[in-house]
Amino acid sequence: MAKNKLCPQCHIRRFSVKNEAGEIRVVTVSENGEIELVHPEESLEGFDLDTLYCLGCSWRGSIRSLE
């Protein structure tokens, strides 16, 4: 099973990303740093993938900051 990168604060693996309209998508990040949709039928088009928002705590930041 593929491993996911984790929130540096609360160590869960699910994050959200946002677009300009304020919509969100729930994603995980693979060990290789690839953003993967939890619901693959959705689209990430137009979403800002540079900032991840943790679903478990107030952390937000870039993929590079994940553990």
29 binds Zn ion (CB under 5 A): no
Q: Which residue has the tokens 């990040």?
A: 29
φ/ψ of 8, rounded to 5, equals: -70, -15
d(CA 6, CA 1): 15
The verdict on 27 binding Zn ion (CB under 5 A) reads no
Query: Judged by CB under 5 A, how many residues of this single chain contact Zn ion?
Result: 7
9 binds Zn ion (CB under 5 A): yes
Closer to Zn ion by Cβ: residue 43 or 58: 58
Could you give the CA distance from residue 37 to residue 16 in angstroms, rounded to a whole number? Answer: 9
Binding site for Zn ion (CB under 5 A): 7, 9-10, 54, 56-57, 59
